[in-house]
Copies of this chain bind each other. A is one copy, B any other.
Amino acid sequence: MRVRIEDVAEAAGVSMKTVSRVLNQEPNVSEETRKRVEAAARKLQYRPNPSARSLAGQRSFLVALLYDNPSSNYLMEVQAGMLDACIAHHYNLMLAPVTYGERKFLAHVDEIIQHSRADGLVLTPPLTDHPGLMKRLGQLGIPYANISPKLRGGRIGVVLDEERAVREMMAHLVSLGHRRIAHIKGHPEHGASQWRLNGYRDGLAAAGIAYDPELVIDGDFHYDTGAICAQRLLLMADRPTAIFAANDDMAAGTIRTASEMGLSIPGDVSVCGFDDTPIARQIYPPLTTVRQPTREMGRLATHELFKRIKAPDGGQMITAGYELQLRQSTGPIGKGRTRRR
């Protein structure tokens, strides 16, 4: 029924092993033999059996994406990027959702690794900063790549210079005349929250604006939280003229709240976010934000992972590029015509 390597060998008049060599691009095959084998394989429509390959070769040709419920847009982009890389390397992508705070978190991860036999993992924040996980993965000796990890020492994956990106964004706001700029922080577990806060503070400092703790509020990257935080900020007697939310979802929540309060954007208050997820263009007004090349980051991280799978010390930490997206949610100060309801 199914065509096996043996059939190809027979058709090509060589041994199984020679076919195997050709298929796996191993050396020590004469050009002529190679061609003959390839022709036979094509004619018979031969497809290697992954299970057999895995069993004999001790690898699964599977990588798993380990994640803990980040925003769906973010995750989809990461997935797409990983798929780009996986397809190019003839690997398959498996999904492995976990729960960071769970009691048996590590046991669960063990389970996944054992059960899937993935050759490697890609971690998204905040898993990428879970100390116990790092350690466990090291013990198990399973290769993994990190997306936007806090700690970069001796690890592979991809990061963005988020601090610098935020400094640029702050410079943009300052150039529009804003000096009373608020910040809604991200989830405390994510490295990004810290970087973006740092960028905010640096941006203020660069403009000679004093840091005012009242203008900095704890968020968690969620839309609803953004909406709530914005309310606190916009109800202040001396309300900020600009709000930098640590991601687009919270910025969208901010805009939502401002709209409900009858405030004009950017007339009464400018709002900006980070990530450039689809929501940035799907709200009104469209959001000024930093474009984070999430898909590309997924691809790059997976690419580094493959390098490490091949060699125990392969791969490195890559820095991806960002881009400011100036849209209509930010504008010059004081052009507003408040229309409180």
Contact = CB atoms under 8 A, between A and B. Distances in A.
A79 to B, nearest CB: 6
Interface string A13-43: 0000000000000000000000000000000
B114 A72 contact: no
A47 interface: yes
A4 to B, nearest CB: 12
Given A83-B97, A92-B94, A52 B55 contact: yes
Q: Copy number in this complex?
A: 2
A251 B97 CA distance: 31
Contacts of A77: 72
Given A92-B116, A223-B281, A279-B279, 6 more contacts: A51-B54, A52-B55, A94-B95, A256-B284, A283-B283, A284-B284
Contacts of A278: 72, 223
A155 interface: no
A90 B115 contact: yes
A60 B55 contact: no
16 contacts: A47-B115, A49-B55, A49-B117, A51-B54, A54-B55, A72-B76, A72-B278, A73-B73, A83-B95, A90-B115, A92-B94, A92-B116, A223-B282, A253-B282, A256-B282, A279-B282
Contact of A117 (B50, B73, B279): B50
A93 interface: yes
A252 interface: yes
A338 interface: no
B47 A51 contact: no
A83 B253 CA distance: 29
Contact of A94 (B47, B54, B93): B93
A175 interface: no
A259 interface: yes
A279 B256 CA distance: 12
A260 interface: yes
A109 interface: no
B116 A50 contact: yes
Nearest to A339: B339
A75 interface: yes
Nearest to A72: B76
10 shortest A-B CB distances, which residue pairs?
A51-B54, A72-B76, A47-B114, A51-B55, A259-B284, A93-B95, A256-B284, A50-B117, A55-B55, A51-B51
A252 B282 contact: yes
A255 B279 CA distance: 14
A50 B114 CA distance: 9
Contact of A51 (B73, B117, B281, B284): B117
Nearest to A223: B282
A278 B75 CA distance: 15
Max chain B Cβ within 10 angstroms of own Cβ: one of A51, A52, A79, A260: A51
A256 B259 CA distance: 13
Contact of A72 (B60, B72, B284): B72
Given A51-B54, A279-B279, A95 B117 contact: no
